């Protein structure tokens, strides 16, 4: 099963005028969407959307919402699952019909920015302030500050800007330490490619992981996709350097890597087919469950960067927000605040040890967060990943000086970043030519 860090950006978004016209034409749907009330118990049902529906996650939600309902007997919570592929059609239909969930979780910052541009989010200031503004890691808090107000909160973090590696295979290849630069990574990948083991796995498909990593590669080479003045920065020496690196390292990737995304990259490392791979903290739990014989041999470091660039990290900023037009805004705020209560929050984070990282400093420093066998075993690695996410960026706001990029979702969803990679590694287009073509497409999107 593919494991995407968070919901993918929208394939399309109805313009706000279209949404409002559709909503005005749907009085019956609006009537049906009135707050759900049980006649006898007089309880209001809060609709909670999430993509996290694995058995261990559903068990955690049941416990967390059970505690919430005991503390707030006027409410019950109904869990409604979405997938990465259908969240945007469902949200679009919900806005059009005025039939919206009360609280939505796990949607990426790209999509939240698009909703903000269309004024389709309830203010989230009350939630952030009740949880504790200063308790959020600044990057996790400020990515959702738009026009002086909070529009969402980061429920949890994860970065794919990690390099998982096999300590035993690195030692067998005579390499003393994991790579810190792309040059060292290339040398290690070449040395560990032997027989049916490949030195390195990366996504090269026209997929969301390829686009995610391409943003990070450009940053790690010292460049930007969009400059702080909102001009296109993609056609740069940094982008060319990143594409040259990808063109070279694909020689040490498994057969079929030109179609890889999240699931394939994870599987190649977990099964032992690849000696190194980028990913979030998910390999900890997956290796423990599926290939425990290599558990003592895996570790992780910050993803290497260009010797002429800089360290850089990407984060999905998995969100928690209230759609504008939700039936029970006050109840949704209470529920959102409850999700950050220490007992609830730690239980949720432990459903994917090392993969779900806290956005609150107090939880990151708490003994309870590490009170889990895999978390204890991999504590140094988890602490390293938390440090990386605390310094992370993404296309929504690439630098401290960058304004909120409301076109981020459009750029990401267009596929131009992954297509640029494919042009180089599949179609053998020169990196400089591919960068220029990609920049032209991004410029058109920025104008739209």
**Could you please report the per-residue DSSP string of 229-286?**
TS-B--SSHHHHHHHHHHHHHGGGSPTTGGG--HHHHHHHHHTTSBSEEE--STHHHH
Q: Is residue 267 part of a domain?
A: yes
pLDDT score of 41: 57
Query: Which whole number is the average pLDDT over 64-71?
Result: 98
User: In this predicted structure, what is the pLDDT of residue 5?
Assistant: 52
Whether residue 220 is found in the same domain as residue 184: yes
Average pLDDT over residues 63-67: 98
Stretch 290-312: mean pLDDT: 98
* Statement to judge: residues 193 and 336 lie in one domain: no
Task: State whether 27 and 109 are in the same domain.
Answer: yes
| 346 or 34, higher pLDDT | 346
Domain boundary among 353, 373, 390: 390
pLDDT tens-place string over residues 117-160: 899 999 999 999 999 999 999 999 999 999 999 999 999 999 99
Q: Cβ(357)–Cβ(385) under 8 Å? A: yes
* Same domain, yes or no: 139 and 198: no
- Tokens found for residue 266: 């994870």
Confirm whether 2 is domain-assigned.
Answer: no
185 shares its domain with 321: no
pLDDT of residue 231: 98
* Inter-residue contact 140 to 157 (CB < 8 Å): yes
Position 361 in a domain: yes
- What's the mean pLDDT in 190-198? 97
CATH of the domain at 190: 3.40.190.10
At residue 67, does pLDDT exceed 50? yes
Statement to judge: residues 326 and 299 lie in one domain:
no
* Whether 195 and 258 share a structural domain: yes
Measured CA to CA, the distance from residue 324 to residue 338 in angstroms comes to 20
The DSSP H or E segment spanning 413 is helix 408-414
Q: How confident is the model at residue 384 (pLDDT cuts 50, 70, 90)?
A: very high
Note whether 212 and 304 are same-domain residues: yes
| pLDDT over 80 (residue 181) | yes
Q: Is the pLDDT of residue 40 over 60?
A: no
Q: pLDDT band at 84, cuts 50/70/90?
A: confident
Q: At what angle do helices 416-425 and 431-447 cross, to 10 degrees?
A: 170
**Same domain membership, residue 76 and residue 136:** yes
Distance of alpha carbon 214 from the chain centroid: 14
Name, in order, each residue with C-beta under 8 angstroms of 194's C-beta and a sequence gap of 6 or more: none
Average pLDDT for 201-230? 96
Please indicate, yes or no, if residue 67 is contained in any of the structural domains.
yes
Residues 137 and 173 reside in one and the same domain: no
Mean pLDDT calculated for residue range 148-173: 96
- The answer on pLDDT for 85 being more than 80 is no
Same domain, yes or no: 124 and 154: yes
99 assigned to some structural domain: yes
Please indicate, yes or no, if residue 404 is contained in any of the structural domains. no
Q: Report how far residue 135's alpha carbon sits from residue 165's, in angstroms, rounded to the nearest whole number.
A: 32
| Domain span holding position 223 | 162-312+415-447
Domain count, the chain: 2
Percent of the chain whose pLDDT exceeds 70: 91
What pLDDT is stored for residue 110 in this prediction?
85
- In a domain, residue 1? The reply is no
The pLDDT value given to residue 372: 97
- pLDDT, mean over the chain: 91
Compute CA distances 373 → 112, 157, 350, 380, whole Å.
35, 20, 10, 13
Q: Any idea which of 82-91, 273-282, 377-386 has the lowest mean pLDDT? A: 82-91
When pLDDT is averaged across residues 333-342 and rounded to a whole number, the result is 98
**CA-CA distance, 85 to 10, in Å (whole number)?**
9
Is 153 part of a structural domain of the chain?
yes
CA 277 to chain centre: 17
My answer on whether 135 and 167 are in the same domain is no
- pLDDT tens string 244-282: 999 999 999 999 999 999 999 999 999 999 999 999 999
pLDDT at residue 17, rounded to an integer: 39
């Amino acid at each position: 099963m593919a494991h995407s860090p968070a919901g993918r950006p929208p394939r399309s978004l109805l313009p706000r005028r279209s949404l409002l016209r559709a909503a005005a034409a749907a009085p019956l749907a609006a009537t049906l969407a009135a707050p759900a009330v049980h006649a006898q118990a007089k309880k209001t049902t809060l609709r909670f959307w999430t993509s996290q529906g694995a058995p261990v996650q559903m068990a955690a939600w049941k416990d967390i919402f059970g505690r919430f309902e005991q503390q707030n007997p006027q409410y019950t919570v109904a869990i409604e699952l979405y997938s990465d592929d259908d969240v945007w059609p469902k949200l679009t239909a919900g806005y059009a019909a005025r039939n919206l969930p009360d609280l939505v979780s796990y949607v990426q910052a790209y999509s939240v920015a698009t909703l903000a541009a269309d004024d389709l989010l309830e203010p989230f200031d009350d939630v952030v302030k009740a949880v504790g503004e200063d308790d959020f890691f600044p990057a996790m808090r400020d990515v959702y500050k738009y026009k002086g107000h909070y529009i969402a909160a980061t429920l949890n973090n994860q970065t794919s800007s990690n390099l998982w590696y096999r300590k035993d295979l690195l030692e067998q290849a005579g390499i003393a330490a994991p790579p810190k630069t792309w040059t060292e990574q290339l040398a290690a990948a070449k040395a560990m490619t032997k027989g049916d083991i490949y030195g390195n796995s990366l996504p090269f498909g026209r997929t969301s992981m390829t686009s995610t990593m391409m943003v990070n590669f450009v940053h790690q080479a010292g460049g930007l996709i969009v400059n702080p003045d909102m001009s296109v920065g993609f056609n740069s020496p940094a982008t060319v350097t990143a594409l040259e690196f990808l063109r070279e390292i694909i020689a040490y990737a498994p057969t079929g890597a030109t179609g890889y995304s999240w699931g394939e990259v994870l599987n190649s490392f977990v099964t032992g087919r690849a000696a190194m791979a980028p990913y979030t903290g998910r390999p900890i739990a997956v290796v423990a469950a599926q290939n425990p014989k290599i558990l003592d041999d895996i570790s992780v470091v910050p993803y290497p960067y260009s010797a002429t660039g800089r360290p850089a990290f990407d984060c999905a900023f998995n969100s928690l927000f209230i759609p504008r037009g939700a039936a029970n805004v006050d109840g949704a705020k209470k529920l959102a605040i409850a999700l950050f209560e220490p007992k609830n929050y730690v239980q949720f984070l432990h459903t994917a040890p090392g993969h779900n990282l806290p956005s609150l400093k107090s939880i990151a420093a708490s003994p309870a967060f590490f009170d889990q066998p895999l978390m204890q075993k991999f504590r140094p690695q988890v602490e390293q990943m938390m440090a990386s996410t605390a310094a992370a960026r993404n296309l929504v706001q690439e630098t401290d000086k960058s304004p909120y990029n409301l076109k981020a979702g459009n750029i990401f969803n267009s596929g131009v970043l992954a297509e640029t990679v494919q042009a180089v590694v599949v179609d053998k287009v020169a990196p400089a030519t591919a960068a220029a073509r990609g920049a032209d497409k991004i410029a058109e999107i920025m104008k739209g």
